[in-house]
Structure 1
Amino acid sequence: MKFDFLNQAEKRNVSMKKHNSNWYTKDVIKCVIEMIGQAEVSGKNCGKIIDILARHIFHTAIDSKDLPSERSSLRYADKGHVLAKQQIAEALLQSSNIDLHSDGTTRNCQKIVGHQLSTDGGQLLSCGFTSVFKEDSDTLVDVAFNLLQELADLYTDREVDTVFQSMLQNLTGLMSERGSVMKSFNKAFNIQRMNTLGIDENMEFLHCNAHFLLGLSSESKKVFRKWEQHLNEKIGRDGLEKFKKFSSSSENAAYRFIRTACDVLGSRGDEKNICRASWEAYCHLQSQNSSITIFRANRFNNVFQAAASLHYHRNDIVTFLQDLIASLNLKQKSVLHDARSDSIDCAMVALGLLYHKVTGPY
């Protein structure tokens, strides 16, 4: 939708309520629900933001009496929450085979458990997040059963226990990680489900593929560490006297090169050593774009993708640091010496192939 602001010098007065009533229109209600649910706007500020956008973007004046109050905004947020629960409940009752996905994480020293449902029709529905005091199997089972009970409580015109058992009957699979707590959760949930329904039918247990990919990253570190121990020579910067005090037994040369090269040439390196702007200018002169990314050790795919990029840019990295940077600091010299190493480049090829064949397509 386009607006000709030049022809709207004078602001238009607009009401957001239905004619001759105190009820807001459906568009206003949906706007507030999305602001709180998707944009994480507080209920107190919804009306203020609507007023600011109306005045500056659409050149429209809205009477302060027509703006939704904090109480109204929170009421509409609750309405959206109930509608989302109703959608999940209907999916549970209408689908005969549903998988429950559960996973835990920690944010700001607070344990959080998230749930999702995947139906036999291909729907993937988020059930939100729940804060827990501790992440053990009994707590996880209670949280999951309470979730189903809340969904069943929506059907006040029907027997709640019957609805709850129907949902539990249609829940035939659990997906989780391979940790010991989640294995105990699967077993405990399955037993409680069978006792509640009075059946002997076991559920299917699935494990998230992402944890296999996490294993690839951690195991590759061990492989390259053993590989370096069997070499008869130091590779990369490790063969130089001036870098001896920086040598570390906990980090192999391949992973060190990935980390330091991304710090120097990546889009978010450290301020002291980064030369991203000059590197991008050099790539532009070569009629190509830099594919070197940010390094984040806790992201399994980052290592493999960065390795492929460093092998692709190897000759350019050497030329750039060797011939075009007037004065290199110690970290930049480290990247240059590692980039020159054929042995380290072989490691980049091996990790890069994993990116092209396994982690990238995933």
Structure 2
Amino acid sequence: MKNSCYEKRFSDSTRLTVLALQEAGVAASKCSTVIDVVLWNLFGQKLDLPSASTAENISDEAHVLSKVHATEKVLNSSGVTLHTHGTSRQKRQYIGQQLTLSNGSLINLGFSEVATEDSETLLITTINLLDELSDLYCHVSPQEKDQVFKSLLEKITSLMSDRAAVMQCYNKKFNVY
């Protein structure tokens, strides 16, 4: 008997289309409708398409895979610069995080909502990010996860932020950590 959660799989091209539509601003709940309309009107075809919850799951899977990929890239890099930058949207504050690898490539790691943008908050969001990366990368044992966390921490050779007022204190706290 097949595992029911794997009975209905979608092709990579369907999954990539769902992700591209979401990136373009289409809600997960509308992706299948958009694909269906385009296929029918341009090609006269109908396909079995993902439900709204499956479209959300596809997005979640892509998010996890991108974090695992980022972790592999960092672990294989000789040095990494961590960039943090603050922004606000609709009266909410966020800290964005990016990595520049030793080969010059840039990896965007997303945003975390914060209450304030002080040095302690920058440190906490950085540690939480590294913890998330090591947790997603290793799910075998706590010791393995701790080793990956330490390796990620050691790979960060420089820090940058658009918050000059808190940068010196953040650097000190990060080095102590």
- Fold shared per TM-score above 0.5: yes
CA distance in 2, matches of 1:115, 1:40: 22
Match of 2:157 among 165, 168, 172: 172
CA distance in 1, matches of 2:125, 2:77: 22
More contact order relative to length (CA 8 Å, sep ≥ 6): 2
Q: Does residue 156 of the first structure (1) align with residue 142 of the second (2)?
A: no
Residue 78 of structure 2 is matched in structure 1 by: 96
1:197-225: per-residue Cα shift (whole Å, max 9, x none)?
Answer: xxxxxxxxxxxxxxxxxxxxxxxxxxxxx
Residue 45 of structure 2 is matched in structure 1 by: 61
Residue 68 of structure 1, CA deviation: 1.1
CA distance in 2, matches of 1:178, 1:140: 10
Residue 142 of structure 1, CA deviation: 0.5
Residue 81 of structure 1 is matched in structure 2 by: 63
Residue 59 of structure 1, CA deviation: 2.7
Residue 128 of structure 1, CA deviation: 0.5
When Rg is computed on C-alpha atoms for both structures, the one with the higher figure is: 1
Contact 1:96/1:171 (8 A) holds in 2: no
CA distance in 2, matches of 1:67, 1:115: 34
User: Secondary structure at the residue paired with 1:51?
Assistant: helix
User: Secondary structure at the residue paired with 1:62?
Assistant: coil
1:309-348: per-residue Cα shift (whole Å, max 9, x none)?
Answer: xxxxxxxxxxxxxxxxxxxxxxxxxxxxxxxxxxxxxxxx
Contact 2:81/2:99 (8 A) holds in 1: yes
CA distance in 2, matches of 1:182, 1:55: 54
Alignment map for 1:105-184 (pairs within 5 Å) = 105-154=87-136, 155-157=138-140, 159-177=144-162, 179-184=164-169
Contact 1:137/1:182 (8 A) holds in 2: yes
1:6-47: per-residue Cα shift (whole Å, max 9, x none)?
Answer: xxxxxxxxxxxxxxx6221111111112222x2122111111
User: Secondary structure at the residue paired with 1:32?
Assistant: helix
CA distance in 1, matches of 2:97, 2:121: 14
List runs of 5+ in structure 2 lacking aligned partners. Answer: 1-6
1:91-115: per-residue Cα shift (whole Å, max 9, x none)?
Answer: 1111121000011011211101101
In terms of fraction of residues, the more strand-rich structure is 2
TM-score using structure 1 length:
0.45
Distance verdict in 2 for CA 1:178–1:46, change over 3 Å: closer
Please tell me the root mean square deviation across aligned C-alpha atoms, in Å.
1.5
CA distance in 2, matches of 1:104, 1:72: 32
Contact 2:77/2:102 (8 A) holds in 1: yes
- Which amino acid is 1:24 matched to? F
1:156-208: per-residue Cα shift (whole Å, max 9, x none)?
Answer: 1361000100111111110123621233222222221xxxxxxxxxxxxxxxx
Contact 1:112/1:129 (8 A) holds in 2: yes
Residue 15 of structure 1 is matched in structure 2 by: none
Alignment map for 1:318-329 (pairs within 5 Å) = none
CA distance in 2, matches of 1:39, 1:147: 26
CA distance in 2, matches of 1:94, 1:59: 45
CA distance in 2, matches of 1:127, 1:44: 25
Residue 28 of structure 1 is matched in structure 2 by: 14
Contact 1:137/1:181 (8 A) holds in 2: yes
CA distance in 2, matches of 1:173, 1:145: 15
List runs of 5+ in structure 1 lacking aligned partners. Answer: 1-20, 193-362
